[in-house]
């Protein structure tokens, strides 16, 4: 543990005018209150508040915040009281300590209804004084750094809570370094095998390629020197979780990831930023679609920077961020930059955002969420979002999260525009409604009288506002259909567990789930807002883990009687994926995954679309999926790969070699699986095998149903 003098020295480095006596008094008071208490590791408990205060000095925060860190557990865990803290240290610090105490008592991983209410309280606490959440984030970071001393189940609970709430909140506040560390510490607890696999690949890559970061940094400095530009260059490899998330999002093996290195160029002025961008693009080839100008269009938390990705040395893609020193301060501290001190004075950074305005942008629209699930979805999406900026035909700027579609754009303008949307033009060209928007695009929404939202839109949009509006419209418009579909799903779920589906049972379930009536319960199940298995589990908890075996001849719900059903060969959808049926005369219904490119062929024929759901439960391993594998041409490798697939209870029904080279083979393996989670298990195991250079799901849009 650092000493009292060490902490004072850390504070005086950026605030020589700090109230040293009050900080020392807070240290002595906290140490006295926590005397005799121990952490799980066996260390004195007071080492934790001291570590939290030290973390906050890295953000150059004010005396009140640091003193709050030293006292943040006193009211909760000791004989100290609010009135005593107020008497000794003043009302401001007492309010902050009390705010942190209330946040600590929130159980953010409880049931959806309770969790939604607690997150509302978290946001209210933030709106009163954002320094409360800064202390709480530092508290959580230190707890995650020392989590190994906790019980395994407690580690998993804290890691999930951190991954779901605190890491994205830190990112939304602009404290990207903290978000990355919180995510990686949680990743180490929740999926250590995957993290270790990535670290092993990194070690192998460094052994083969050498110090890539040093070489590319030197190349950038050479170009800057040649153009007489004064700037600092920093490079690093990205965190394991960041790489893992990109692998999952893009469905890529580690060997195919290119931009795993990031570089920052810090200079003195905005003009120099754009000049450096010109120099970088002159020297290296820019990757299309990977440039973002957050200087002209800053994020709501004040973040400003130029982002570009270029093909660097040996063809490797590298991400480069260019910003001024003042912008960098905000990029590191985020919203906390508002309180930062330098040389004993509040730092006058023109890019620091007003915390009151920032919190209002985060919470805007939350009160409109009409149920707990919608609120939770809204707040998590908003905290995870990374903005894109698009233009209306009139030139208005619409700010949306990364991955947003023209439908999100329509609902951001007005609910009436979203509900009536039939198509969209992006930069003058007509595009499907599920097109992902990019920075700087111009979007025109085309509406039609009588158009109503479709159920498939839920999986197209990403904003909480759009999802909430679509769900409300669907409930109002298609309530009767959802009630019928929900009743069928409930009947199947009750039959699978040998229970009787009765109005009394459904009435009890509705009461336990805080749903107004039976009709609303059926409608929510039919609209896929509530799982039929969850309804059964609420009534009969002993069935919660007993997933029924699904009849492979009737794997989906939503078909008319005696209608034939097939999976589309182009996308090979699996149980667990969102599916849409397309009717064919004489061929029945063919199911496509929601993101299948072939669906674009039926964009003008909505009458052929059928809303389908996979039956809940354990499906048999009969659904074939093609895996594209590249493996080393070494003795025993193919046998190990086949054994690995078999160990995960998957059957190989066909094996075809696509390419044979002296050092590798490429082959297509037809594997029979239970569903999408089974596929992820098999692919994760294969990616961890050192002899497998690449594994990907093979989908061919050219294959006709």
Name the residues annotated as catalytic: 76-77
Query: Cα separation of 535 and 541, whole Å?
Result: 10
Collapse the DSSP code of 512 into the 3-class scheme (helix H, G, I; strand E, B; otherwise coil) and give the result.
Answer: helix
> Which tokens in the block code for residue 553?
């001849």
Residue 93 near residue 71 (C-beta atoms within 8 A): yes
What is residue 516's DSSP assignment?
S
Q: Which residue has the tokens 């480069």?
A: 320
- Angle among Cα 101, 106, 112 to the nearest 5 degrees reads 170
Q: Please report the beta strands in 620-663, taking only residues with DSSP state E, as ranges in sequence order.
A: 623-632, 651-660
Collapse the DSSP code of 591 into the 3-class scheme (helix H, G, I; strand E, B; otherwise coil) and give the result.
Answer: strand
Q: Please report the beta strands in 199-331, taking only residues with DSSP state E, as ranges in sequence order.
A: 232-237, 261-267, 285-286, 292-293, 306-311, 317-324
Q: Please report the beta strands in 509-640, taking only residues with DSSP state E, as ranges in sequence order.
A: 556-557, 565-567, 579-584, 588-593, 609-611, 613-614, 623-632
Query: Cα separation of 575 and 349, whole Å?
Result: 52
Overall size of the chain counted in residues: 705
Q: Which residue has the tokens 């903005």?
A: 387
Query: Which helix or strand (DSSP H or E) is residue 490 part of?
Result: helix 479-496
Sign of CA dihedral 126, 128, 129, 135: negative
Contacts of 489 (CB under 8 A, 6+ apart): 525, 526, 532, 557, 613, 615, 616
- DSSP string covering 206-231: HHHH--HHHHHHHHHHHHHHHTT---
What is residue 163's DSSP assignment?
I
Q: Which residue has the tokens 């990977």?
A: 290
Collapse the DSSP code of 128 into the 3-class scheme (helix H, G, I; strand E, B; otherwise coil) and give the result.
Answer: helix
First to last CA, the chain: 66
- Angle among Cα 172, 174, 180 to the nearest 5 degrees reads 85
Residue 626 near residue 571 (C-beta atoms within 8 A): no
Residue 574 near residue 625 (C-beta atoms within 8 A): yes
Collapse the DSSP code of 543 into the 3-class scheme (helix H, G, I; strand E, B; otherwise coil) and give the result.
Answer: helix
CA 300 centroid distance within chain: 18
> Which tokens in the block code for residue 228?
């007489």
Q: Which residue has the tokens 């049931």?
A: 111
Query: Cα separation of 37 and 46, whole Å?
Result: 8
Distances (CA, A) of 67 to 6, 93, 310: 15, 7, 45
């Amino acid at each position: 543990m650092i000493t009292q003098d060490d902490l004072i020295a850390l504070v005086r480095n950026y605030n020589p005018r700090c109230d040293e006596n009050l900080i020392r008094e807070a240290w002595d008071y906290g140490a006295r209150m926590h005397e005799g208490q121990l952490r799980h590791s066996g260390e004195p408990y007071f080492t934790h508040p001291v570590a939290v205060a030290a973390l906050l000095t890295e953000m150059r925060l004010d005396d009140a915040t640091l003193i709050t860190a030293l006292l943040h557990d006193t009211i909760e865990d000791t004989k100290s009281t609010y009135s005593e803290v107020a008497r000794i240290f003043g009302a401001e610090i007492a309010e902050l300590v009390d705010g942190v105490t209330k946040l600590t008592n929130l159980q953010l991983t409880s049931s959806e209804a309770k969790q939604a209410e607690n997150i509302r309280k978290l946001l209210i606490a933030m709106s009163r004084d954002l320094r409360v959440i800064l202390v709480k984030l530092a508290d959580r970071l230190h707890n995650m750094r020392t989590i190994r001393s906790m019980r395994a189940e407690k580690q998993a609970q804290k890691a999930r809570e951190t991954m779901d709430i605190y890491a994205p909140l830190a990112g939304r506040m602009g404290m990207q370094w903290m978000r990355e560390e919180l995510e990686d510490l949680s990743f180490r607890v929740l999926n250590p095998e995957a993290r270790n696999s990535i670290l092993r690949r990194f070690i192998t890559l460094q052994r083969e390629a050498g110090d890539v970061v040093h070489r590319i940094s030197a190349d950038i400095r050479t170009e800057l020197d040649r153009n007489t530009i004064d700037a600092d260059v920093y490079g690093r490899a990205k965190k394991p979780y960041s790489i893992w998330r990109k692998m999952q999002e893009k469905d890529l093996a580690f060997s195919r990831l290119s931009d795993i290195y990031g570089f920052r160029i810090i200079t003195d002025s905005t003009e120099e930023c754009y000049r450096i961008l010109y120099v970088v693009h002159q020297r290296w080839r820019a990757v299309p679609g990977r440039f973002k100008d957050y200087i002209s269009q800053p994020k709501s938390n004040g973040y400003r920077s130029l982002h570009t990705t270029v093909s660097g040395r040996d063809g490797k893609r590298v991400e480069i961020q260019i910003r001024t020193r003042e912008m960098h301060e905000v990029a590191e501290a985020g919203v906390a930059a508002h309180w930062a001190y330098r040389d004993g004075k509040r730092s006058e950074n023109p890019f620091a955002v007003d915390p009151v305005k920032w919190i209002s942008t985060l919470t805007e629209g939350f009160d409109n969420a009409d149920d707990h699930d919608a609120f939770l979805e809204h707040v998590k999406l908003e905290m995870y979002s990374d903005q894109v900026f698009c233009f209306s035909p009139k030139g208005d700027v619409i700010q949306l999260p990364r991955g947003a579609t023209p439908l999100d754009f329509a609902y951001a303008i007005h609910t009436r525009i979203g509900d009536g949307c039939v198509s969209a033009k992006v930069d003058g060209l007509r595009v499907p409604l599920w097109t992902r928007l990019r920075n700087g695009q111009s979007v025109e929404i085309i509406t039609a009288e009588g158009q109503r939202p479709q159920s498939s839109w839920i999986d197209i949009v990403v904003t909480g506002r759009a999802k909430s509006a679509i769900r409300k419209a669907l409930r109002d418009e298609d309530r009767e259909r959802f009630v019928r579909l929900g009743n069928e799903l409930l009947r199947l779920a009750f039959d699978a567990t040998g229970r009787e589906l009765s109005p009394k049972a459904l009435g009890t379930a509705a009461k336990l789930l805080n749903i107004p009536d039976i009709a609303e319960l059926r409608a929510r199940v039919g609209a896929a807002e509530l799982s039929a298995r969850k309804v059964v589990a609420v009534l009969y908890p002993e069935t919660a883990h007993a997933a029924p075996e699904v009849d492979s001849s009737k794997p989906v719900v939503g078909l008319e009687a005696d209608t034939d059903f097939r999976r589309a060969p182009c996308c090979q959808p699996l149980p667990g994926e969102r599916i849409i049926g397309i009717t064919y005369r004489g061929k029945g219904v063919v199911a496509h995954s929601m993101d299948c490119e072939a669906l674009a062929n039926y964009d003008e024929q909505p009458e052929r679309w059928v809303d389908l759901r996979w039956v809940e439960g354990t499906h048999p391993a009969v659904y074939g999926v093609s895996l594209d594998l590249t493996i080393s041409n070494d003795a025993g490798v193919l046998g190990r790969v086949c054994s690995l697939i078999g160990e995960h209870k998957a059957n190989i029904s066909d094996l075809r070699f696509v390419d044979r080279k002296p050092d590798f083979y490429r082959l297509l393996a037809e594997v029979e699986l239970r569903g999408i989670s089974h596929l992820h298990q098999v692919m994760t195991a294969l990616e961890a095998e050192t002899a497998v250079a690449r594994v990907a799901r093979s989908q061919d849009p050219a294959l006709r149903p």
